[in-house]
Amino acid sequence: MTRREKLLAMSLLGVLLIFGGGILFHLFIYEPMSEVRAQLDNERSELLKKQNELASEQQQIASIIKINPRLTQWAQLSLPPKDPVLKQAKLPPEEQKRKHLANLRVGYEGYLSNLMEEARFQRGTIKVEVRQSNRAPAPTVKGKEPPYEQLTFGVVGEGTMENVAKMMRAFHKTPLLHHIRTMTLALANEKNAKTASDGLLKMDLTIDALIMTSGEERSKLQPAKLAYPPKVLAEPERNYLVLNKVNMFTGLKAPARTEEEAPTPTRPTEDKIDVLRFVKLTGLTLDPDRNRWEATLYDQAKGGREKTLNTGSRDEFTIVDKDDNPMLEAKVVKVDEEYLIIQSEGKYYRLQCGDFLYPAIRKPLSKSELARLGITPDTSAKDK
């Protein structure tokens, strides 16, 4: 092979090596790197999109919480998922849960019964029971507890529209994660003309209450103290008792009859003073769980249980005679370690521990006394 042929062969070999190396570089280095770079760009774009969505959601949540910070209190509003007392007893987890759920059902049933009694539904018609829920259970993740558990209760009772309004108002003021799922109202007995004309209703409720798995553990049904009490009623506060005057079942109250048409009115068999002089303020105590003062009234003539009052869900009460005729309807305005202040028919009265409602209601508080107590008179109270 001549020198010229060797030079050509070497040149050709060099060209082949360069061309082949370029092809190999393109196939095994450049193309994979381009694909990886494109994939990284797509992933960065998706990540940026997700980050923007998350930031938008967090901003939206922050703005909602700023408007209503009570939404952050769901853990306290939940029915307690566990009882610390049962945990200390070192029972097996299944036994702890079984006992806790049983205690919880009994406690919530008692709470519903008290609501119905305080709203003055007809005695003997009140029935509270555990019902089976027709809703699907909470979705679960393998190896984890469900996020919540639902308890369902049924409440039945007979009363007027006023009793219904009082019960519903007290229910919605209670700081718990619960709601009324179904409600049925009907005349208690349409065949009974007297019952129908009196507007006596039969109420049937189905109530759901939630136990959040990550909720606050406590021994009592309701939370001790909330930084932001839940607002579930209309603001400014409205007088829901007017529903009894414009009753959807009986209509407006019938006009007064003439003397010839009017039946002989039934009068209370007891005098107001004779009833109130036996109702005594027996205690002023601080509830450490809720950090508020509560008062207890006891009717020495009737006996039975004491009536617990506070400025929360139990701020209204009615004293009746032996025939259930109302003698005094009042609202709790203030409770502290010294006094119970109540309002009735636009006037304010003060009781100390040991005082009876009569003669306490003989001496309404003056404007100067109310000012010293930090109470602003409700000018609309007389119209309610």
Q: pLDDT tens-digit profile of 330-381?
A: 999 999 999 999 999 989 999 999 999 999 999 999 999 998 888 888 754 4
Per-residue pLDDT at 324: 80
Output DSSP code: residue 125. Answer: -
Same domain, 200 and 291: no
Identify the CA nearest to 329 among candidates 111, 120, 137, 142.
120
- pLDDT of residue 198 exceeding 80: no
Domains contained in the chain, number: 2
- pLDDT of residue 296 exceeding 90: yes
Euclidean distance between CA atoms 328 and 29, whole angstroms:
93
Same domain, 217 and 323: no
Indicate the residue type of 297.
Answer: L
Same domain, 331 and 202: no
What H or E segment, with its residue span, contains residue 292? strand 292-299
Percentage of the chain surpassing pLDDT 90? 41
Query: Is 217 a domain residue?
Result: yes
Residue range 260-266: average pLDDT?
Answer: 51
Q: Which residues contact 100 (CB under 8 A, 6 or more apart)?
A: 80, 82, 83, 86
Query: Is 13 a domain residue?
Result: no
Greater model confidence, 297 or 6: 297
Output DSSP code: residue 28. Answer: I
Identify the CA nearest to 179 among candidates 158, 202, 201, 151.
151
Q: What is the dihedral of CA 369, 370, 372, 373, to 10 degrees?
A: 120
Query: Is 4 a domain residue?
Result: no
Number of Cβ within a 10 Å radius of residue 209: 21
Q: What strands lie across the sheet with 340-344, from one edge to the other?
A: 316-320, 326-335, 340-344, 347-351
Euclidean distance between CA atoms 169 and 154, whole angstroms:
18
Query: Is 315 a domain residue?
Result: yes
Integer CA distances (angstroms), 15 to 5, 7, 19, 319, in order:
15, 12, 6, 112
Query: Is 202 a domain residue?
Result: yes
Euclidean distance between CA atoms 128 and 105, whole angstroms:
11
Token output for 261: 């048409």
At which residue do the structure tokens 């409440």 appear? 155
Output DSSP code: residue 46. Answer: H
Query: Is 151 a domain residue?
Result: yes
147: phi then psi, degrees, rounded to nearest 5: -65, -25
At which residue do the structure tokens 């809720």 appear? 290
Question: Across the chain, what does the average pLDDT equal?
Answer: 84
Same domain, 200 and 318: no
Euclidean distance between CA atoms 32 and 26, whole angstroms:
9
Across-strand partners of 151? 209
- Where helices occur in 119-238 by DSSP H, the ranges are 161-173, 193-198
Same domain, 104 and 210: yes
Identify the CA nearest to 80 among candidates 228, 224, 243, 249.
224
Same domain, 109 and 218: yes
Same domain, 100 and 215: yes
Domain that holds residue 340: 272-383
Count, in order, helices (H) and strands (E) of the chain: 10, 13
Q: Residue 107 — pLDDT band, cuts 50, 70, 90?
A: very high
Query: Is 246 a domain residue?
Result: no
Query: Is 95 a domain residue?
Result: yes
Output DSSP code: residue 221. Answer: S
- pLDDT of residue 81 exceeding 60: yes
For the entire predicted model, the pTM comes to 0.54
Per-residue pLDDT at 88: 85
